[in-house]
Structure 1
Amino acid sequence: MIKAVLIDDERPSLRELEYLLKEDGNFAVVGMFINPLEGIDQINTLQPQVVFLDIHMPQLKGIDAASQILDKCPWVDVIFVTAYDQYAIEAFELHALDYILKPVKKERFDKTLSRIIKKNNYTISPITGEKFKISCLGNFQAGWEGQAPIKWRSEKTKELFAFLLHHEGREVTKEKILEAIWPDTEVVRAIHQLHNGIYYIRKTLDKYDVDGTRIAVEGSYLLKLGEAETDVLLFKKYIQLISKGESSLEALARVEALYSGDYLEGVDWMWADLERERLLMNYIEVVLKLSQIYIQNKKFDQAEEILLKIFKKNPYLEDTTKLLLKLYKHINKRNKAISHFMGYKKILQEELGIEPEEDIQSFLEI
């Protein structure tokens, strides 16, 4: 059943809407209010999927009531039911699902109900046994395994979801979101874009039928992932285990394989920079440990491959070059050692204006 709230200052109109919804059989009327302020106050408790709203009411205009309702529950579909047609543009600017003129005609009303039913029943379900995955290491994307990822309505909506995910399980204030994502946008317009973005994300998560994943709104915004699986959270979990002493080859190799790219790679979101750098350093520490185990176990090709990978990401680290030179010396690849050292030396000279440390040069014995 689709939960509906009705708000109209005329009791006959409320009764008529209630009758039409009950007659349809797909709706449960969970609240009816003559005073829109009372309806707004109860909206978080009732958690409707759709609100039918009059526009001309003495306590508060329907347009303003809708704005406050969407502040509290951005996922709600708003249907305006009114005798006045001059507010249609304002209504649709709020992303109202429909605008019905009084007196309500059953045929017209049934078309609106069909739209609501279709919208609430349409989901993209998983293939049996597959998981809903969110990738943050490398290119940012989300979707069911084996199916096309979500196509976000705009880059800002995509960034908003990533920002909430960045703070997963923690409340984020509206002010913090606006400062991070819309720093140069006029406040009223930025708030409007935030509400639209939350609304779209909520609808998208519903559409993709992800159990338990939702955005709670109560002054602040809180993303709860539910059954969705996120590579970066899994990566952090393994890093925590390694920090507590779990440093087997299998554990380290699992972490190395998880890191398919830098955190939120390829996007210019300044709020992600510190976390990107922190996770990269976690990854480098793991690779340095793993490469030494590979060398001890005579898995020289694997050691070289992962060391070159982190050298490409951060060529200034002495430890990476030391291990590579040590490896090349151990397997008698002097030409590779010289080539790598000269490349490393050139980078330090040209980009930092310094020379390699003497202990690094000693690995070459030249």
Structure 2
Amino acid sequence: MKTILVDDQPLSVKKFEEECKKNNLFDVIGIFKNPITALEFSKTNHIDFAILDIHMNQMNGLELGALLKERYPNIIIFYVTAYDEYAAAALKQKADYFISKPYSIDDVTDSLIRAKLLSKRYEKNIFIRTFGNFDVFIDNKPIYFSSAKSKELLALLVNKRGGIISTEEAMGIIWEDKFNLSLCRTAAMRLRKTLESYGIQNILVEKNGNRSVNTDLFDCDYYLFLQDSNDERCIFTGEYMAQYSWAEVTLATISQKINIF
């Protein structure tokens, strides 16, 4: 979990920093004294978990938490304060947890256990694997497609990460020189029926001959990788949708990202 600690008295979160480093689940990507700096950081860095002191200058933790929640709806936020009167406000804002100062090492350990459990609530039962061969799983069980082209069409849409692909564009990529719109429409129909048979038809969005996927409804190793997640499911294997030649463009982008870092 990409984690930030925000407190204008850095020593106050020292215990959290030390315990997070001992636990592979938590990757502390930022420690901030200034909440505005933390907010700026969140614009270009995905955050899964934030530990925020409430009583700070310039912007209090509740205000910062609300803004982070707007940017990352699934973020887990724990508030820390020595002032009990803030507890009601934190609870009203639907805080995930509230920690009173001074806190012990046991309090820190307990809070991290809670964060781990809370992270499970956002895991989706649909998982799409792109590293290696392209496959779709529901509750860790693979789904089977009625045709190879319908599966490839879904792969192309997943590769687009929610972007729209027209029938003509799909034809040019998947069927190349066989420009026959009925082929794509048949593949789309078969894809729709396959997804309906598994009860996950809502991941496919179709309108006026254009198609996309609803990325909010599934997890994907490629997407998690782009978020710099430390989720074990997004470990890059050196291959990306290996059965499709058009995926080599994305593979090159992934490889470049790895080489940069």
TM-score (norm 2): 0.52
Partners of 2:19 and 2:174 in 1: how far apart?
A: 58
Contact preservation (8 Å) 2:166, 2:209:
no
| CA deviation after TM superposition for structure 1 residue 66, in Å | 0.9
Q: Could you say which residue in structure 1 is the equivalent of 2:69?
A: 70
Residue 132, structure 1, aligned to residue 136, structure 2: yes
Question: The residue matched to 1:113 in structure 2 has which SS?
Answer: helix
Identity across matched positions, percent: 22
Distance 1:237 1:28, change over 3 A: closer
Q: 1:80 to 1:131 in 2, by over 3 A?
A: same
Question: Equivalences for 1:161-172 in 2 at 5 Å?
Answer: none
Aligned-pair distance for 1:110? 1.5
Is the Cα–Cα contact under 8 Å of residues 7 and 54 in structure 1 kept in the other structure?
A: yes
Unaligned stretches of 5+ in structure 2? 144-156, 194-204, 211-261
Instruction: Work out which of the residue numbers 224, 229, 239 in structure 1 matches 2:161.
Output: 224
Aligned residue number for residue 13 of structure 2: 14
Instruction: Determine the C-alpha separation between the residues in 1 that align with 2:41 and 2:179.
Output: 50
Q: Which residue does the alignment assign to 1:264?
A: none
User: 1:18: how far off?
Assistant: 1.9
Contact 1:77 1:97 in 2 (8 A): yes
CA positional deviation for 1:54: 0.6
**Aligned position for 2:87:** 88
Is contact 2:53-2:81 (8 Å) kept? Answer: yes
Task: Report 1 or 2 for greater relative contact order, CA contacts < 8 Å, sequence distance ≥ 6.
Answer: 2
Residues 237, 38 of structure 1: alpha-carbon distance in 2 compared, 3 angstrom cutoff: same
Query: Shift of the alpha carbon at 1:100?
Result: 0.6
Please give the residue correspondences for 1:316-355 in structure 2 after superposition, counting only pairs within 5 Å. Answer: none
Contact 1:235 / 1:255 at 8 angstroms: preserved in 2? no
For residue 127 of structure 1, report the CA deviation from its aligned partner. 10
Task: Name the structure 1 match of 2:235.
Answer: none
Structure with the largest fraction of strand: 2
Aligned to 1:42: 41
CA contact (8 A) 2:170 2:184 kept: no
Q: Is the 8 A contact 2:167 2:184 kept in 1?
A: no
Matched with 1:194 is: none
Give 1:96 deviation, angstroms. Answer: 2.5
Question: Residues 28 and 238 (structure 1 numbering): CA distance in 2 closer, same or farther, change over 3 Å?
Answer: closer
SS of 1:132's equivalent? Answer: strand
Residue 131 of structure 1 aligns with an amino acid whose one-letter code is: D
Q: How far apart are 1:106 and its partner, in Å?
A: 2.3
Whether contact under 8 Å (1:239, 1:255) holds in the other structure is no
What SS class does the counterpart of residue 31 from structure 1 fall into?
Answer: strand
- The superposition leaves residues 180-225 of structure 1 with CA deviations (integer Å, 9 ceiling, x where unpaired) of xxxxxxxxxxxxxxxxxxxxxxxxxxxxxxxx88xxxxxxxxx925
Using the size of structure 1 for normalisation, the TM-score is 0.39
How far residue 120 of structure 1 moved from its aligned partner, in angstroms, is 4.0
What is the aligned length? Answer: 184
Deviation at 1:87, TM superposition (A): 2.8
State the Cα deviation string for residues 221-264 of structure 1 (Å, max 9, x = none): xx9259xxx9x97898359989x87349866654554565xxxx
C-alpha contact (below 8 Å) 1:4/1:30 kept by paired residues: yes
Q: Kindly indicate which of the two structures has a greater share of residues assigned to helix.
A: 1
Unaligned runs of 5+ in 1: 134-142, 149-168, 170-211, 214-222, 261-271, 281-366
Contact 2:76 2:119 in 1 (8 A): no
1:175 corresponds in structure 2 to none
Change (3 A) 1:44 1:252: closer
